[in-house]
Structure 1
Amino acid sequence: MLLHEIPGWYHARNSPAQRALFPKGLVMRMEEKPNQSPTSSSERPMSPYELEQREAQARDIVGKHVLWSLGAGIIPVPLVDVAALTAINLRLLRTLADHYNVPFSDHVGKSIVSSLLGSVSGAYLGRYLVYTILKSVPIVGSVAGLASVSLAAGALTHAMGRLFTQHFETGGTLLSFDAKAMRKHFLNEFEASREKVASMHQTPPQPPA
């Protein structure tokens, strides 16, 4: 039973005995009705337009990092591009978290990025490492290595961005993200992203109207 529900409490609250037992602020808080809380403007639901704008800005963030990954893929020093790709994806995760006002931890972020990138090791990462080593071979490397590594790097980053845009849009956080459970979904996003990034390179620029 709450204090304000006790018979006689309200009329006796200002008695010397009550004032001696309870500080004034505590008595006031005890008299507050349950489920009464101030309404914060930050809790106001976003309009459909605001939601659309937020997601569009997230796509721009992902697109920028995809371009950086494409550039990292053509770094001529073998394995350095792998380190650069990891750093770019970590930065992407941090930027998206900031965009959605989600708390970010470098330790958790690195663990997630490593787990997701490692999920492609069986089918793709071995091939990726072969291509990145081939880049050191004259002529052959310039053909077999640069294009393949660049496209794969861009697709990995695009998949990472797509996955976390969806996760944050639905109210998820880094702590609620289960990297192991999402590996298959990440692979599917990677497959779709490979086609999208490849089509970006194949689409000729449109002449100005």
Structure 2
Amino acid sequence: MYLAAAKCKSRREKADGIIKSNVIQAVMMGLIPLPVLDVVALTNIQFKMMDDLVKLYGIRYTKIERSIVKSFLLGMLPVATVTGLSSVLKLMPGIGSFTGSASVSVSAGGLTYATGRVFAHHFEGGGTLDDFNLEEAKRRFRQELRRGREVARELSSRKQLPSPADGRTD
């Protein structure tokens, strides 16, 4: 029993490391000065994070399961639109570029954190992508997004961001 609990804790810690690493990447990605490229990069970061999480939890991840993840990410599109709009601010010279980069960094980090926590929580409870409940996940996503923005703000306010490898625990 103790060994099983230790294994879960270790896996949970690894999931936290995966999420943190990807949040750091998302925050750094927000600093890309080119609009829209940052949103494309964010999508890639989130899919990479999902690849890492499903491997960690031993979850089947075929084309069908990928479509479930896509549905969730697309369902969060209204929230992600803020990131896209902030990205467009980068087109404005000077203050627009600075404001856009800062806003995109925090939004992208928050989105990545919330997405990772939603799936990690589901997998920790023994869930798979076959029994993933989109409505429940959306509720949890909104809760996690608040915390994710705080985490991203904290990370982006540091003088020097840690390297993504610093968040890894494996």
Q: With the length of structure 1 as denominator, give the TM-score of the two structures.
A: 0.68
2:47 counterpart of 1:86: no
- Aligned counterpart in structure 1 of residue 30 of structure 2, from 63, 70, 73: 73
Instruction: Give the aligned length.
Output: 160
Report the CA distance between 1:83 and its aligned residue.
Answer: 1.5
- Aligned counterpart in structure 2 of residue 115 of structure 1, from 47, 69, 72: 72
State whether residues 78 and 135 of structure 1, in contact with CA within 8 Å, keep that contact through their aligned partners in structure 2: yes
Residue correspondence of structure 1 range 130-141 to structure 2 within 5 A: 130-141=85-96
Report the CA distance between 1:158 and its aligned residue.
Answer: 0.7
Report the CA distance between 1:45 and its aligned residue.
Answer: 8.7
- Aligned counterpart in structure 2 of residue 151 of structure 1, from 106, 131, 137: 106
Report the CA distance between 1:94 and its aligned residue.
Answer: 1.3
SS at match of 2:131: coil
Bigger proportion of residues as helix:
2
State whether residues 72 and 85 of structure 1, in contact with CA within 8 Å, keep that contact through their aligned partners in structure 2: yes
Task: Provide structure 1 residue ranges, at least 5 long, that are not aligned to the other structure.
Answer: 1-43
Pair 108,157 (structure 1): closer, same or farther in 2 beyond 3 Å: same
Pair 72,107 (structure 1): closer, same or farther in 2 beyond 3 Å: farther
Cα deviations by residue, 1:155-187 (Å, 9 ceiling, x for unpaired): 111111111111111111111112244212211
Pair 77,107 (structure 1): closer, same or farther in 2 beyond 3 Å: farther
Aligned AA for 1:198?
R
Aligned AA for 1:134?
L
Q: Which moved more, 1:45-54 or 1:72-81?
A: 45-54
The corresponding residue for 2:164 is none
Alignment partners' CA distance in 1, 2:134 and 2:40: 20
SS at match of 1:47: helix
Aligned AA for 1:98?
K
Q: With the length of structure 2 as denominator, give the TM-score of the two structures.
A: 0.82
The corresponding residue for 1:27 is none
Q: Which moved more, 1:195-204 or 1:175-184?
A: 195-204
Pair 157,204 (structure 1): closer, same or farther in 2 beyond 3 Å: same
State whether residues 82 and 107 of structure 2, in contact with CA within 8 Å, keep that contact through their aligned partners in structure 1: no
Cα deviations by residue, 1:96-128 (Å, 9 ceiling, x for unpaired): 00001111124532542453353351xx43332
**Greater C-alpha radius of gyration:** 1
2:77 counterpart of 1:142: no
Alignment partners' CA distance in 2, 1:141 and 1:108: 39
Task: Provide structure 2 residue ranges, at least 5 long, that are not aligned to the other structure.
Answer: 161-170
The corresponding residue for 2:151 is 196
The corresponding residue for 1:57 is 14
